[in-house]
Amino acid sequence: MSGLSPTIAVTTGDPAGIGPDICLRLLDDARAPHFGARIVVLADRSLLAERSAALNLTVSLRDWNPSLPAQPGTLDVLHLPLSAAARPGCLDPANAPYVLALLDRALAGCLSGEFAAMVTAPVHKGVINDAGIPFSGHTEYLAERTGTRRVVMMLAGGGLRVALVTTHLPLKDVPAAVTRTAVDQTLRILHREMGQKYGIPRPRILVAGLNPHAGEGGYLGREEIEVITPVLDHLRSELGMTLLGPLPADTMFSPPVLARGDCVLAMYHDQGLTALKYASFGHGINVTLGLPIIRTSVDHGTALELAGSGQADPGSLFVAIEQAIAMAGRGRSLQG
């Protein structure tokens, strides 16, 4: 990365979904902010041209060239070819390699310093698996590709920041995955990254219990007593972390409790993200903590029924790009 303006790579996600639509709106939508950074969209150029025509948008597309200055009203495109023809709303496993190629190219650029961060539009996990490629999500994929042993999924929006100990697991598998090691490592990453990415070096972390009423003193489960509390006690003693909990998840998202913390750690996906998406859906973002790069994402799915309709809301993408730029700025300050 060179110069004063960071370059942010934006992947367009599944070509059948709304990813191409919302990326095109970076120039068209009246709400699109002036980001103060170079934005390069990774996509098949013909796909963007076709989708632009279908949406009746007038968008100028230019092949990405980092040596050229930004041009107002022009979208810089790093062209990667589709594997098969794409139609809005029609998933095709044949394009799974294309979707992953977008991620791999953005990741390579971030690791090399070509890009300051990557922002991802939604992919469809099911169709990638239908192509015979095991895939449980962006978070897990990027962790594997970077050799990162543990990453943390955190969503932010609506005044909330909610991180997760476990991510995309069947509910029946969650208790076994909530181990002392998992809770300990997640809290260490969350504590560190709140300082590095959000400028809060001593965050107050609200920690949920796993069971209803945080186990009710052992009557509704013993994970709080045997797993979570010992980890919290150890980290308070060892690192001086400010950790409140384990707290009952059904009351943790009440305003008086939230006022006591800077972020929340939930034990599993729906425990934490139901409240956050209620508060921020369409304008929240996903942040992957623990990677050697900066990665943010929209907080919604491919919305196949909206693809090509002109009804997709790009608000979450705008926020994800703004936050990626802010995080990149903090990273440069720390390096300086």
Q: pLDDT, tens digit, for every residue of 254-303?
A: 999 999 999 999 999 999 999 998 998 778 899 999 999 999 999 899 99
pLDDT number for residue 336: 45
pLDDT number for residue 33: 64
Distance CA 260, CA 141 (A): 34
- List, in order of start, the domains of the chain with CATH numbers: 1-148+291-336 (3.40.718.10), 151-279 (3.40.718.10)
Please name which of 325, 336, 330 lies closest in space to residue 116, comparing C-alpha atoms: 325
| pLDDT mean across residues, the chain | 93
pLDDT number for residue 223: 97
Distance CA 185, CA 61 (A): 43
In the chain, which stretches have pLDDT less than 70?
Answer: 1-4, 28-33, 331-336
Asked whether 43 and 102 are in contact (CB, 8 A), the reply is: yes
pLDDT number for residue 2: 43
Q: pLDDT, tens digit, for every residue of 32-77?
A: 567 788 999 999 999 999 999 999 998 899 999 999 888 888 999 9
Instruction: From residue 174, give the alpha-carbon distance in Å to each of 118, 149, 223.
Output: 29, 19, 11
pLDDT number for residue 30: 54
> End-to-end distance of the chain based on CA atoms, in angstroms?
14
